[in-house]
Every structure is written in structure tokens, then in C-alpha cells.
């Protein structure tokens, strides 16, 4: 991608995170969402955001694990060019 605004929403697969992710997508942000255990929900949210015409990417990450967080950012950069 590499163009436009990119946001990361932790816990974006459900609850408040889901609504934040969808609002950012509605405002034309390309959105990465992280999840720990709610992979199916995260993928559903990505589908919703893609239907809004933005790029969306979900990545599994335990945000309490520094190695996983570092890898998450590598994946986000590779997928969304952030």
C-alpha cells in the first residue's frame, strides 16, 4: 500500500476496538487490527472495512510479548506499507 493514512487498533476484532476500526475505515484510514484469540471476529471486521474501500489487515499478537509486538509491526509494514 504505502499511500494514505494507516492506523493500528489493538483488540479490533470486537467491542470498542471493532467500532473504532470501522470508524477509522469510514474516515478513509487503512487499518490494521490486532487480536489475541478472536481471529474469526477480526477477519469479519477486516471484510467490513474492505467493503468500505480501504485496505485492512488482521494480525494475531499478544501485546504483552515484545517479540510478538515487533513482528506485528513488520507484518503491518509489509501489508499496509506503514
**pLDDT of amino acid 42:** 95
pLDDT, residue 38, reads 87
- What pLDDT does 3 receive? 63
Could you give the angle at the alpha carbon of 25 between the alpha carbons of 5 and 74, nearest 5°? 50
Domain boundaries, the chain: 6-80
pLDDT of res. 14:
92
Q: What is the pLDDT of residues 30-76, one digit of tens each?
A: 999 999 998 999 999 999 999 999 999 999 999 999 999 999 999 99
pLDDT of residue 79: 87
**What is the average per-residue pLDDT within 13-29?**
96
Spelled out in words, what is the top-level CATH class assigned to the domain 6-80?
alpha beta
Instruction: Quote the pLDDT of residue 82.
Output: 62
Amino acid at each position: 500500500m504505502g499511500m494514505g493514512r494507516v492506523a493500528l487498533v489493538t483488540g479490533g476484532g470486537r467491542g470498542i476496538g471493532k467500532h473504532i476500526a470501522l470508524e477509522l475505515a469510514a474516515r478513509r484510514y487503512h487499518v490494521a487490527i490486532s487480536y489475541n484469540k478472536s481471529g474469526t471476529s477480526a477477519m469479519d471486521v477486516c471484510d467490513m472495512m474492505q467493503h468500505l474501500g480501504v485496505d485492512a489487515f488482521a494480525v494475531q499478537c499478544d501485546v504483552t510479548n515484545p517479540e510478538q509486538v515487533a513482528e506485528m509491526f513488520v507484518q503491518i509494514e509489509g501489508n499496509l506499507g506503514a
